[in-house]
Amino acid sequence: MYGHPNRDGMMAEAPILINSTVKEYYKNPQFYALGHYSKFISPDSVRVSITSSKTQNDFNCVAFERPDNSTVVVVYNLSQKPIDFIINDKSQGSVVTNIGQNTVQSYIYWN
């Protein structure tokens, strides 16, 4: 009901909590975040290097090459304001876009 220690031995919230006394379950925000990632990052994907020119602590990104020869870039913004950013791939070009406050977004393009 209260989560489990994570791999570092620290207590962490679980994506799903189960209250066996009343036979209920609760989905935490982590459940939906994991679901978002798993929809776009397929098995056998390989993480690739990505750099961010943003210096804000609440903005982050990660990129993967998928087995279908596509690249997925996942960005998240935990700040209270939208952030403009550019995805720039030397071989594919760039896209200027933005991400709303408290948002996770994924971008897929084929190589």
Can you give the pLDDT at residue 57? Answer: 75
Residue 77's Cβ-count burial label (10 Å; 0-12, 13-18, 19+) is buried
Q: How many CA atoms lie within 13 A of 31 on its CB side?
A: 10
Percent of the chain with pLDDT over 70: 91
Interatomic CA distance for residues 104 and 78, integer angstroms: 9
> Is residue 79 domain-shared with residue 95, that is, in the same domain?
yes
- Residue 48 and residue 9 share a domain: no
Give the span between the Cα atoms of 26 and 84, in whole angstroms.
Answer: 34
| 22 and 54 together in one domain | no
User: In angstroms, rounded to a whole number, what is the distance separating the alpha carbons of residues 36 and 84?
Assistant: 21
Query: Model confidence over 89-102: pLDDT tens digits?
Result: 988 999 999 999 99
Tens-digit pLDDT profile for residues 48-80: 998 876 656 788 899 999 999 999 999 999 999
Residue 22 has pLDDT above 70, yes or no: yes
The Cα–Cα gap between 14 and 18 comes to 10
The pLDDT of residue 55 is 57
Pair 71, 98 in one domain: yes
Question: Does 28 share its domain with 73?
Answer: no
Side-chain-facing half-sphere of 67: CA atoms under 13 Å: 4
**6 against 62, higher pLDDT:** 62
Residues 36 and 46 in one domain: no
Task: Residue 68: give its domain's CATH number.
Answer: 2.60.40.1180
**Cα angle vertex 93, ends 39, 108, to 5°?**
5
Q: Are residues 111 and 77 in the same domain?
A: yes
When the pLDDT of each residue in the chain is averaged and rounded to a whole number, the result is 88
Share of the chain above pLDDT 90, in %: 56
Range(s) of the domain holding residue 26: 1-40
Q: Are residues 24 and 47 in the same domain?
A: no
The structural domain count of the chain equals: 2
DSSP secondary structure letter of residue 41: S
Tell me the mean pLDDT in the region 33-57: 87
